[in-house]
Amino acid sequence: MSRRTRTGLDFSSDATHGRARHRLVGATAAALAVSLLLSGCVSWFMPPASDLTSTPTGESVAPGLERFYQQELAWATCGDSLQCATAIAPIDWENPEGDTLELALVRQTARGNDSIGSLLVNPGGPGGSGFDFINDSVDYATSEALQSKFDVVGFDPRGVNRSTPVSCYSDPAELDDYIYGITPGEKGSDEWIAAATQSSAQFAERCFEETGPLLGFVDTPSAARDLDMLRAALGDTTLNYLGYSYGTLLGQVYAEIFPEKTGRLVLDGAVDPAASEFEATQAQAKGFEGALDAFLVDCAGAGDCPFTGSTEQSRALIRTLLDRLDKSPLTNADGRQLGSATMFTAIILPLYSQDNWAYLRQLFTTVLQGDASIAFDLADSYNGRDADGTYRENQTEAFIAINCLDARQPADNARMQEQAAALAIAAPIFGPQMSYGDPGCANWPVEAKRERVAIAAPGAADMLVIGTTNDPATPYEWAETVAKNLDSGHLITYNGEGHTAYNKSNACVNSVVEDFLLKGVVPATDPDC
């Protein structure tokens, strides 16, 4: 029973989704790969052997934390020009003598001769693989200027991918059913809510059985403590950090817990930590619908546009199509059924970047013709599912586990119905798709760890907060709010489309970020790029 299109979409950067798009099969995959121009790693530079073991800072820490903060990371070459290492951290930072977990890291050492330290990068999610982000597309994550001066470090947060992972369904067929299955009944009906609640409760139970105690400690504050330990183990006295999307929340929480250890933090595609679940859902529904409207205006001038009427007529057709898929799903060649939930996921992926609107045209054209193949290509890419039916990452499981630990509210049918009505008014196409998400975390077997409150981080160093004016996933007003609430936040506006801006928008944004990270220069005012 599909629970993937829950309230709260993936707070991953466009860069993360760009990396995922490389894996699409068929013609769509090839075209997307060309359009994104993500590059891998080069082989011309190898560090000297003396650089293959880190030198921790040796700073004083609380009793019991020494073995983590003072661990020497043993780097080994992996790929042509990268190094990989594994760090250990306590599962419970309040009980450092207890069981430990592993954290997977990858780095490209500074290409120049005068490195200024490490730059840790998080691509978003929660559940996004920072290891894969740097391993697969370091040139998309960072510019040549940053790579020259920084050791660029990607890491998988606790619970994610190559680090000690959250696991819920070891059988891919079970995860298929959870993500792609059709929930019986009309959405919002008692039958539908009961079925969704049962499916989510079963998923939660299996997560607890397969993951064990770690499931209670994949919260963002615990990940921020890992981040500080990694900083020290890498030998950096302060943290230099580039966080995209959900990575901006991790950066804010870090600054709140360790303000004195902040170096230069860039938060691109800012997440408002105080937004309630409903406020976040409503903002995203409106954001993605705004991006869809921009796509429809652009589509009208394209020769392969499947829509022939006005924007309003096209909007009505899309809503009718989603409703029709609920009543009569399309059958894919592999037997999976394309309902509105999976179709919504397929629509969302290309909306992260204007560069990929051509694939939205292909998506709507084929589905309107009764062909579900491209819709499943896109949804599978979003969900990390390969053509053979296996899942290369645990991003769905990690996303849910981290979100349910960060904050949640009990499922209340009356409240959900009231909020669903409000969402349908705010975003008539996508609002109905994003409603009734409360059952997803209602039966989670461990308690939430973080409250949804504003973060000021008094005492932290200057931080850049980047907002894109028509960002569908992390609306611009969130960046305004975050920059205002942070004592040392500085708003950088990018006027444009798409999710996140650095290294994918214009020279204005890039120069501001690079001047800050490389030289510590803070713009006197918002450059309004």
Catalytic positions: 245, 471, 499
Residues 39, 137 contacting (CB under 8 angstroms) = yes
CA distance 4 to 182: 11
**Nearest Cα residue to 504 out of 245, 133, 240, 143:** 143
For residue 25, the Cα-to-chain-centroid distance in whole angstroms is 22
Peptide bond into 126 cis (omega under 30): yes
Is 140 exposed, middle or buried, given 0-12, 13-18 or 19+ CB atoms closer than 10 A?
Answer: buried
In degrees and rounded to multiples of 5, residue 98 shows phi and psi of -80, -160
The two tokens of residue 223 are 């990940």
**Nearest Cα residue to 430 out of 3, 2, 1, 9:** 9
**Nearest Cα residue to 346 out of 369, 367, 324:** 367
The two tokens of residue 151 are 């050791």
State the alpha helices, DSSP H only, in 384-506.
395-406, 413-426, 439-442, 476-485
- Report which DSSP code applies to 391: B
CA distance 62 to 73: 20
In degrees and rounded to multiples of 5, residue 87 shows phi and psi of -110, 160
Is 70 exposed, middle or buried, given 0-12, 13-18 or 19+ CB atoms closer than 10 A?
Answer: middle
**Nearest Cα residue to 88 out of 67, 105, 103:** 103
CA distance 21 to 34: 10
